[in-house]
Structure 1
Amino acid sequence: MKRLFILVFALLGFTSVFAQTPLQNAEEFYRQGKFSAALGLYEYDLKSHPNDPYVYYNIGNCYFKMGSMGLAAANYYRAFKLAPRNTDIRNNLALALSAGGESLVPAGVPPILHKAFFSLSYSELKGLTMVLWWVFCLLACIWVLKRRGGRITATVAVVLLLSAGWFYMRHKAETEPLAVVAAPVAEIRSGPGTNFPASASVAQGHLLTVQDEKDSWYEVIVKSQGIKGWVDKNAIEQI
């Protein structure tokens, strides 16, 4: 009987190990310092949770621990777009970018203004603007039909214009074709090929704006330096 109890408890323990979710296993691997194994499980989990900012954040953490600052920054940036108010995501993104000589807050922009600009996610801001639009339409109809609520209608109209302007600027930022240098060094060439001379070298972690593409090359602008040229697609990671 004693042996039977031991066998049952052993089987239960064995079963509980395999009952863990891939995410739980990934967290355990990460705690053990097995970052490559954790990364594989987080990327597997991403297939079923493509809009989860914390999966991107965990992937970024794995790359950060593995020394791939460019890929870490790319995944932190993806997480930041989805959850811009999260302090850990924002701080880790800023840290990964600073390792490559970049800054999350553009030069000349007060940090508090940058935080305010990203105080809502893109989807939240879109929803707010749509709600304000419908409220304005309802109030405008009431004012036209009954000539009542003129002041509150005007107030909502002003708030709607401000929200729409904010949404427009965020839409431009959201749809900007950003990329980050993922290779240790990316050569910026004057044309799409190794037969064109390199005009500059950019370290990993630098942010780029993709302008065009041809074969296996992207035409980019290095945001912090204003350098324009062509870079091998394998050297960068699009965000």
Structure 2
Amino acid sequence: MKKILFLLLLVANVFYAQDEQKIFESANEMYKQQNYEKAIELYKTLEKRNLVSSELFYNIANAHYKLNEVGPAIFYYEKALQIDPDNEDVKNNLVFAKRLALDTIEELPKTFFQKINSNYIQQLSYNEWAIAVIIFAFLGSILFLLFYFSNKPGTKRFFFVFSMFSYLLLIITFVITINQHSLAGKSKIAIVFAEETEVMNAPTLNSEELFTLHEGTKVTVLDRVDNWKKIKLADGKIGWIIANEIKELDEI
């Protein structure tokens, strides 16, 4: 009975995958025919099925770009880059999409350590850093055992030094992992979807207006209160925005 259920599940998954492929091909065909609205509708059918693919998000972004829908275009290019950070096509198209955005946000100058963090440390997720922790823990343990059972002084010294070096790297990568996990939980990247919106100094409609943002601007979400989100811009400005006027990159 279990074998029959397994086979039925396998067959169902095969048909489901074939159905998704047909939808994807139909969406591509709609895109070629310049029916971008229909293409988006079909692509997002796959997105609603929790299909995560750099190619899917890239195609959705391209269709929105063709319709001059800046916010969604930038949003989906960014999502595609989350999955495939080295995709040059996505990077290039994102540059063109950002040129359509009205807001010009100049980043604050980064310190040496901030540059190290953004250029190197943040290139890996906290899950990938956690894998590095496991690797160095395993490597350090193996080297220490080799040191313990070795009889030659020169060899013992070699294994001891490299085992201590591995444990040092273990500590460093562990601290980085904890820090990356903490940052991922505290702040999230989002894109402004509203054509134009006011950023307030408090999470209420009658509070003071600080500045105006437009569709496509990238922000960092720091906090949430009711239907408001606290955001920070790359230039350091902070304020509150109505939650449904931005969309976080981890939202489906």
SS of match in other structure, 1:212: strand
> What whole-Å deviation, never above 9, does each CA across 1:190-228 have from its counterpart, x for those lacking one?
22232223221012222222222233221222x223222
**TM-score normalized by the length of structure 2:** 0.70
* Range moving further from structure 2, 151-160 or 32-41: 151-160
Corresponding position of 1:153:
163
Contact 1:181 1:208 (C-alpha < 8 Å) held by counterparts: yes
Corresponding position of 2:220:
209
Contact 2:126 2:178 (C-alpha < 8 Å) held by counterparts: no
Cα distance in 1 between the residues matched to 2:23 and 2:212: 39
Cα distance in 2 between the residues matched to 1:167 and 1:19: 36
Contact 2:108 2:235 (C-alpha < 8 Å) held by counterparts: no
Contact 1:84 1:120 (C-alpha < 8 Å) held by counterparts: no
1:196 aligns with 2:200: no
Q: Structure 2 counterpart of 1:75, which letter? A: Y
SS of match in other structure, 2:81: helix
Contact 1:185 1:202 (C-alpha < 8 Å) held by counterparts: yes
Superposition pairs of residues 45-84 of structure 1, within 5 angstroms: 45-84=46-85
1:139 aligns with 2:150: no
How far did residue 90 of structure 1 move? 2.8
Contact 2:136 2:170 (C-alpha < 8 Å) held by counterparts: yes
Cα distance in 1 between the residues matched to 2:218 and 2:89: 20
Q: Structure 2 counterpart of 1:230, which letter? A: W
Task: Please identify runs of 4+ aligned residues in structure 1 that moved more than 6 A.
Answer: none
> What whole-Å deviation, never above 9, does each CA across 1:102-148 have from its counterpart, x for those lacking one?
57x875589x9766556556654443443233222332333345474
Corresponding position of 2:198:
187
SS of match in other structure, 1:21: helix
Q: CA RMSD in A?
A: 3.3
SS of match in other structure, 1:225: coil
Inter-CA distance 226–24: structure 2 relative to 1 (3 Å threshold): same
Inter-CA distance 170–46: structure 2 relative to 1 (3 Å threshold): same
Cα distance in 2 between the residues matched to 1:62 and 1:190: 35
Contact 1:71 1:237 (C-alpha < 8 Å) held by counterparts: no
Cα distance in 1 between the residues matched to 2:203 and 2:75: 23
Superposition pairs of residues 1-20 of structure 1, within 5 angstroms: none
Aligned sequence identity (%): 22
Aligned length, in residue pairs? 219
SS of match in other structure, 1:202: strand
